[in-house]
Amino acid sequence: MYTFTNDYSEGAHPKILELMTKYNFEQNTGYGLDRHCEKARELIRDWIDMPSADIHFIPGGTQTNLLVVSSFLRPHQCVISADTGHINVHETGAIEATGHKVVTVAGKDGKLTPESIQSAVDSHVGEHMVKPGMVYISNSTELGTIYTKAELKSIRDCCLKNGLLLYMDGARIGAALTSSINDLFIEELARLVDLFYIGGTKNGALFGEALVICRDDLKEDFRYLMKQRAAMPAKGFVMGMQFEVLMRDGLYLELAEHANAMAKEVADIFREKGYGFYAPPCTNQVFPILPDGLARKLMSQFGCQEIARIDERNTCIRFVTSWATRPESIGYLRAYLSGLTA
Amino acid sequence: MYTFTNDYSEGAHPKILELMTKYNFEQNTGYGLDRHCEKARELIRDWIDMPSADIHFIPGGTQTNLLVVSSFLRPHQCVISADTGHINVHETGAIEATGHKVVTVAGKDGKLTPESIQSAVDSHVGEHMVKPGMVYISNSTELGTIYTKAELKSIRDCCLKNGLLLYMDGARIGAALTSSINDLFIEELARLVDLFYIGGTKNGALFGEALVICRDDLKEDFRYLMKQRAAMPAKGFVMGMQFEVLMRDGLYLELAEHANAMAKEVADIFREKGYGFYAPPCTNQVFPILPDGLARKLMSQFGCQEIARIDERNTCIRFVTSWATRPESIGYLRAYLSGLTA
Amino acid sequence: MYTFTNDYSEGAHPKILELMTKYNFEQNTGYGLDRHCEKARELIRDWIDMPSADIHFIPGGTQTNLLVVSSFLRPHQCVISADTGHINVHETGAIEATGHKVVTVAGKDGKLTPESIQSAVDSHVGEHMVKPGMVYISNSTELGTIYTKAELKSIRDCCLKNGLLLYMDGARIGAALTSSINDLFIEELARLVDLFYIGGTKNGALFGEALVICRDDLKEDFRYLMKQRAAMPAKGFVMGMQFEVLMRDGLYLELAEHANAMAKEVADIFREKGYGFYAPPCTNQVFPILPDGLARKLMSQFGCQEIARIDERNTCIRFVTSWATRPESIGYLRAYLSGLTA
Amino acid sequence: MYTFTNDYSEGAHPKILELMTKYNFEQNTGYGLDRHCEKARELIRDWIDMPSADIHFIPGGTQTNLLVVSSFLRPHQCVISADTGHINVHETGAIEATGHKVVTVAGKDGKLTPESIQSAVDSHVGEHMVKPGMVYISNSTELGTIYTKAELKSIRDCCLKNGLLLYMDGARIGAALTSSINDLFIEELARLVDLFYIGGTKNGALFGEALVICRDDLKEDFRYLMKQRAAMPAKGFVMGMQFEVLMRDGLYLELAEHANAMAKEVADIFREKGYGFYAPPCTNQVFPILPDGLARKLMSQFGCQEIARIDERNTCIRFVTSWATRPESIGYLRAYLSGLTA
Judged against a pLDDT cut of 60, whether residue D342 lies above it is answered with no
Rounded to whole angstroms, the Cα distance separating C189 from C211 reads: 14
The mean per-residue pLDDT over the stretch C333-338 comes to 94
Q: What is the pLDDT of residue B93?
A: 97
Test B24 with A30 for CB contact under 8 angstroms: no
What residue spans of chain B are helical by DSSP H? 14-22, 35-48, 61-72, 86-89, 94-97, 114-122, 149-162, 173-177, 186-192, 222-228, 237-247, 251-272, 292-302, 327-341
| Cβ distance of C27 and D11 shorter than 8 Å | no
Distance from the Cα of A154 to chain B's closest Cα (Å) equals 32
Cβ of A101 within 8 Å of Cβ of C102? The answer is: yes
| Complex ipTM | 0.97
pLDDT in tens, B235-272: 999 999 999 999 999 999 999 999 999 999 999 999 99
* pLDDT, tens only, A111-158: 999 999 999 999 999 999 999 999 999 999 999 999 999 999 999 999
Q: Which residues on A lie below 8 Å from D76 (Cβ)? A: 221, 224-225, 227-228
Asked if the model's pLDDT at residue A340 lies above 90, the reply is no
Mutation test of the interface with chain C: which of A101, A102, A105, A127, choosing the one with the most C Cβ atoms within 10 A? A101
B290: CATH: 3.90.1150.10
Average pLDDT, chain A: 97
Tell me which chains share at least 3 CB pairs under 8 Å with chain B. A, C, D
Q: Which of B76, B89, B92 sits opposite D127 (nearest CB)?
A: B92
Q: Which of B75, B127, B228 sits opposite C71 (nearest CB)?
A: B75
Q: What is the pLDDT of residues B66-120, one digit of tens each?
A: 999 999 999 999 999 999 999 999 999 999 999 999 999 999 999 999 999 999 9
Asked if D90's CB is within 8 angstroms of B100's CB, the reply is: no
Kindly state the average pLDDT of the residues C260-269: 98
Question: What three-state secondary structure class fits D222?
Answer: helix
Whether D237 and D268 share a structural domain: no
Mean pLDDT of A222-236: 98
Nearest-Cα distance to chain A for C331, in Å, is 32
Pick from D3, D27, D91: CB nearest C9: D27
Asked if the structure places residue A7 within a domain, the reply is: no
Instruction: With H, G, I as helix, E, B as strand and everything else as coil, classify residue D134.
Output: strand
- Domain-located, residue A5: no
Residue B28 has pLDDT above 90, yes or no: yes
| D63 and D94 housed in the same domain | yes
Q: Testing the interface with B: which of A2, A64, A206, A211 to mutate, by most B Cβ within 10 A?
A: A206
The residue among C217, C233, C250 that closes a domain is C250
pLDDT, tens digit, 9 for 90 and up, residues D53-79: 999 999 999 999 999 999 999 999 999
- Give the model confidence (pLDDT) of D322-335 as tens digits: 999 999 999 999 99
What are phi and psi for residue A111, nearest 5 degrees? -110, 150
Cβ distance D234 to C17 less than 8 Å, yes or no, reads no
Q: Which residue of D has its CA nearest to C94?
A: D228
Pick from D70, D131, D221: which is nearest to A224 by CB? D131
Same structural domain, C216 and C331: no
C216 neighbors C59 (Cβ within 8 angstroms): no
D24 lies in some domain: yes
How large is the average pLDDT for residues D212-224? 97
Cβ count within 10 A of residue C81: 28
Q: Specify if B5 maps to a domain.
A: no
Chains touching D (at least 3 CB pairs under 8 A) are A, B, C
Residues of C in contact with A98 (CB under 8 A): 99
Task: Among B77, B86, B96, B124, pick the best mutation site for testing chain D contact (most D Cβ within 10 A).
Answer: B96
**B342: confidence class by pLDDT, cuts 50, 70, 90:** low
- C342 pLDDT exceeds 60? no
- pLDDT tens digits along C196-240: 999 999 999 999 999 999 999 999 999 999 999 999 999 999 999
Partner residue facing D71 (CB), from A75, A128, A226: A75
Q: For all residues of chain D together, what is the average pLDDT?
A: 97
| Cβ–Cβ gap C128/A92 under 8 Å | yes
Chain D residues with CB under 8 Å of A227 CB are 76, 127-128
**CB < 8 Å to A19, chain B:** none
Give CA–CA dist A34/C223, Å, rounded: 50
Q: Are residues B210 and B68 in the same domain?
A: yes
- Contact: C230, D231; criterion CB under 8 Å: yes
Query: A147: Cβ–Cβ under 8 A, 6 or more apart, which residues?
Result: A111, A137, A139, A155, A176, A184
**Residue-wise pLDDT tens digits, C142-181:** 999 999 999 999 999 999 999 999 999 999 999 999 999 9
Residues D31 and D94 in one domain: yes
Chain pair A-B, CB pairs under 8 angstroms: 148
Write out chain A residues lying below 8 Å of C130, CB-based.
92-93, 96
- Cβ distance C76 to B131 less than 8 Å, yes or no, reads no
Residue D182 lies in a domain: yes
> Distance (Å) from the C-alpha of residue A228 to the closest C-alpha of chain D?
7
C-chain CB neighbours of D28 within 8 Å are 9-10
B5–A97 CB contact, under 8 Å:
no
pLDDT level of residue A259 (50, 70, 90 thresholds): very high
| Chain segment C270-321, per-residue pLDDT in tens | 999 999 999 999 999 999 999 999 999 999 999 999 999 999 999 999 999 9
pLDDT of residue B341 exceeding 80:
no
**Angle (deg, nearest 10), helices D292-302 and D327-341:** 150
* pLDDT of A342 above 80: no
pTM of the complete model: 0.97
Q: Are residues B106 and B203 in the same domain?
A: yes
**What per-residue confidence (pLDDT) applies to D341?**
63
* For residue C1, pLDDT beyond 80: no
Boundary of a domain, candidates A208, A228, A250: A250
Single residue among C209, C224, C250 that ends a domain in this structure: C250
The tally of domains found in chain A comes to: 2
Inspect the interface and report whether the beta carbons of C74 and B221 lie closer than 8 Å: yes
User: Are A126 and A211 part of one and the same domain?
Assistant: yes
Q: Do D127 and A224 touch (CB under 8 A)?
A: yes
- On whether residue C113 sits in a domain, the answer given is yes
Asked if residue C19 and residue C95 are part of one domain, the reply reads yes
Q: Residue D101: which of B76, B90, B96 has the nearest Cβ?
A: B96
pLDDT recorded at residue D340: 80
User: Using CA atoms, how far apart are residues B61 and B200, in angstroms rounded to an integer?
Assistant: 9
Which chains contact A through at least 3 pairs of Cβ atoms less than 8 Å apart?
Answer: B, C, D
In a domain? residue B7: no
- Which pLDDT belongs to residue D124? 96
- Do D146 and D274 fall within a single domain? no
Residue A1 pLDDT class (50, 70, 90 cuts): confident
Minimal Cβ distance to C100: which of A96, A127, A128: A96
Q: Note the pLDDT of residue C118.
A: 98
Pair (B55, B82) in one structural domain: yes
Q: What is the pLDDT of residue C128?
A: 97
Q: Find, among C42, C32, C50, the residue nearest to C213 by Cα.
A: C50
Task: Residue D35: give its domain's CATH number.
Answer: 3.40.640.10
Residues B232 and B302 in one domain: no
From chain A, the residues in CB contact with B94 under 8 A are 227-230
Query: Would the CB atoms of D201 and C28 count as touching at under 8 Å?
Result: no
Q: Are residues B297 and B271 in the same domain?
A: yes
Q: What percent of chain D has pLDDT over 70?
A: 99
> Is B104 inside a domain boundary?
yes
Per-residue CA distances from D246 to A108, A137, D14, D182, D198 (Å): 57, 52, 11, 21, 11
Structural domain including A323 reads 254-341
